[in-house]
Amino acid sequence: MRLNGVHIEDTFAEAFPMLGTRLVITADTPAWVQAAVVSMTGFATSVIACGCEAAMERVLPPDETPDSRPGAAVLLFAMSKAELAKQVARRVGQCVMTCPGTACYAGLRDGPTIPLGNALRYFGDGWQIAKRVGSRRYWRIPVMDGEFLCEAATAAVDGVGGGNVIILAANRRAGLAAAQAAVLAIRDVPGAILPFPGGVVRSGSKIGGKYKGLIASTNTAFCPTLRAAVPASLVPEGVESILELVIDGVSEATVAAAMRAGIGAVADLGAAGGVVSVTAGNYGGKLGRYQFRLHEVMA
Amino acid sequence: MSGIVLTIRDPAGPPIDMSGVLPERLAEGGREALAGLMLVRGRGRHRLDALFTLEDSGPAGTLILHPGGAVLDGVGTGMNTGEIRVEGECGAYAGSAMRGGTLAVAGNCGAFAAAEMSGGRLRVAGDAGDFLGAPLAGGTRGMSGGSVVVMGNAGDRVGERIRRGLIAVHGRVGSLCGARMIAGTIVVGAGCGPDPGQAMRRGSILLAQAPDAVPSGFVDGGMNDWLFLDLMRKELIDGGAWPSGFPTAGTRARRLIGDRSAGGIGEVLVLAEA
C-alpha cells in the first residue's frame, strides 16, 4: 500500500491485553492540574520497568469535571489488577494528593473495582471522613492546605497495550516531524494514550539480548547505524532515522482508531516530507492476543 | 393496571394504622387483595374498603391517599418499591423502616417519619414532627440509607443516630439535631435549635446559620473551603434538597468538629458565614 508516496508495509502491530483505568484530576488552575498530571504520569512509559504505562488522555474544561474546576483525564494501564491497584495508590498518593489544591475522581464506573481513596484514606490518621454524595462515595483527607477530596474507588477496563506504529524517515528531522504530527492526531482519539516521552519512542526494543537476565535490548533490526552490520536489519536504503509510537487504549477499536489517525497524519506529510515508509512491531504473532494489520487499519 | 386512589369514608375518629397498605400489595394481589386488607382503627379491625373508597386511577403501582382530616399512621412503613402519594397530612411513622420506593406527602407528617429508614425517598411538602429519621422507640439505630426532604420545618432530634443517608430540611429544626449521629448527612436550611450533633461520632450537619447553642464537646475548626460542598450542592439541587437559604456558589464554611466529648470527629458546617 502506498499513501501519498509513503509505503505502508503489509505487516501488523502485535498488542497485548492490559487492565486500564481512567482518573479525573482537578485543581484550582490548569497549571496545577498539569503539575499533578506530569508528576503522576512520570516514569510510566513501559511496564517493562515502570510498573504501568500512563499518560494524560485529554484536558477537561471546568464544565466537564465533577467539581467544575479545571481538570484532566489520565489513563493508566498495567498487566494485572493487583499491579494497577498498586500503581494507582502510589501515584495518586505521592503525586496528586501532594499537589496543592487537587482532587481526584474516578473516570470509569463499570468494571472491577480499583481502590482509590479507599487505599489512601489512612493518610488521614483517623481524621479522614467518608462522604456519600448521590451514588458516589468520597474520602475527605485533611491535608495542610485544607482537604484532599478523593473518590473512594475507580473501575478497571480490559484495555489493549502495545499498539504501535514505526515511522521510517530519510533523516532525523523528517522523522521527528512525522512522529509529532502522528502524536497530535492520536491525542485527539478518546481512550488512547501515548505513554512515552512526547508520545514518541526512539529506543524501540526486542525481547531479550546477548546478556543474561536482560528482559529487553535495543531493536537492532531497526537501528540505522547497524544496517550494514546486522544481517536481519530491516532498515531500507535511504533511511537514517526510525521512530516508534506506542499506543495503549481502552479497547481494541480505540487502538485501531489511534493507529489509523497516526498513520494518516504521517501519510499526509508524504514522501515529500521525508517519510519513506511506515511499519509496525510484532513478535511473529506468537505473543500478543491482538494483531493490528496496517492495511486493514488504513482500509 | 392503573394505580389506586384511596379516599377516606369517615375522616372523624381515631387514627388508622396504614402500615400494611403498600404498593407491593397492589402489585402482588391486585385491587381485591388491597381491598381485603384488615386495618386497625382505634380498638376495631376493619377491611380497607370499609374505611376507604377505592378508585382505579393514577400511574401503575401507585397508591394515592386522600386522608381528608383523618389521622393515618404508618403510611409507607416497610415499603420496598413503588410510590405512595398522600394528598393531605400523615400521622406518625410515615415511611418508617422504609427500604425502597417513594413516599410523597403533600401536607405535614407526624413524629418518627423515616424512623429506621434504610432506603427509598420520602418527600414532605409541609412540616415533619420529632424524631425524623431517628430510631423507633426503644431502638438503637436511626436511618441507615435513603433520602428525606422536608420542605417545611422539623421537630427535635432530627436524624438521631443516623448511620447513612440524607435528611434535608428546608426550614428550621428543633433541638438535638443529629444527636448520637454515626454518619450520613443532615442539611438544615433555616434555624437550628440547641445542641446539634450532641455525642455524634461522624457525619455532617450542614446549617444555613449558626445553631442556637453548640454542645460543649465541639471545637471551632474555623473557616475553610470544602470542595465536597460543590459536589453535594449539585446533587441536592437536582433532587430539590438544597435549601433556598444555602449559598448557590462557593465552598466556604465554618466547621465545628465534634463531639469530642464522645470521641467524635463529626462536623457541623455553617455555610452562611462564608
Q: What is the pLDDT of residues B140-164, one digit of tens each?
A: 999 999 999 999 999 999 999 999 9
* Contact between chains at A103 and B226 (C-beta distance less than 8 A): no
Q: If phi over 0 gives left and psi between -120 and 50 gives alpha, with beta otherwise, what is residue B61? A: left
When pLDDT is cut at 50, 70 and 90, the band that residue A207 belongs to is: confident
Compare CB distances from A67 to B164, B224, B227 and report the shortest one's residue.
B227
Amino acid at B218: F
**B274 has pLDDT over 60:** no
- 178-207 in B: which are within 8 Å (CB) of A? 183, 185, 202, 204
* pLDDT value of residue A53: 98
When pLDDT is cut at 50, 70 and 90, the band that residue B273 belongs to is: low
Torsion of CA B10, B15, B19, B20, to 10 degrees: -40
- Residues of A with CB below 8 A from B226's CB? 140, 146-147
Cα distance between residue A295 and residue A257, in whole Å: 13
Chain B residue with CA closest to A142: the answer is B226
- Residues of B with CB below 8 A from A134's CB? 235
What's the grid cell of residue B135? 430510631
For the stretch A185-222, what's the b/e string if a residue is b when 16 or more beta carbons lie within 10 angstroms of its beta carbon? bbbebebbbbbbeebbbeebbeeeeeeeeeeeeebbbb
Given a contact cutoff of 8 angstroms between Cβ atoms, the answer to whether A91 and A76 are in contact is yes
* Contact between chains at B265 and A66 (C-beta distance less than 8 A): no
* Contact between chains at B227 and A129 (C-beta distance less than 8 A): no
Domains annotated for chain A, with CATH where assigned, are: 2-14+160-297 (3.30.70.520), 19-157 (3.30.70.520)
Cα angle B225, B266, B205 (rounded to 5 degrees) comes to: 70
Given a contact cutoff of 8 angstroms between Cβ atoms, the answer to whether A2 and A10 are in contact is no
- Domain boundaries in chain B? 71-270
Mean pLDDT of B109-136: 98
Q: How is domain B71-270 classified at the CATH fold level?
A: Pectate Lyase C-like (2.160.20)
Max CA-CA distance within chain B?
60
pLDDT tens, B65-90? 999 999 999 999 999 999 999 999 99
Place of cell 471545637: B219
* pLDDT value of residue B120: 97
Distance from CA of B220 to the nearest CA of A (A): 15
* Contact between chains at A131 and B204 (C-beta distance less than 8 A): yes
Cα distance between residue B173 and residue B177, in whole Å: 7
For the stretch B101-125, what's the b/e string if a residue is b when 16 or more beta carbons lie within 10 angstroms of its beta carbon? bbbbbbebbbbbbbbbbbbbbbbbe
First to last CA, chain A: 10
> Most A CBs within 10 Å: which of B227, B242, B256, as the mutation test of the A interface?
B227
The β-bridge relationship of strands B72-73 and B16-17 is parallel
pLDDT tens, B11-34? 999 999 999 999 999 888 889 999
More confident residue, A115 or A286: A115
Q: What is the ipTM of this complex?
A: 0.91
Cα distance between residue A214 and residue B39, in whole Å: 81
Average pLDDT of chain B, as a whole number = 95
Phi and psi torsions of A65, nearest 5°: -105, 155
- Residues of B with CB below 8 A from A132's CB? 164, 185
Q: Is A127 on the interface with B (CB under 8 A)?
A: yes
Given a contact cutoff of 8 angstroms between Cβ atoms, the answer to whether B144 and B124 are in contact is no
Amino acid at B110: G
- Residues of A with CB below 8 A from B224's CB? 146-147
> Most B CBs within 10 Å: which of A25, A64, A65, A67, as the mutation test of the B interface?
A67
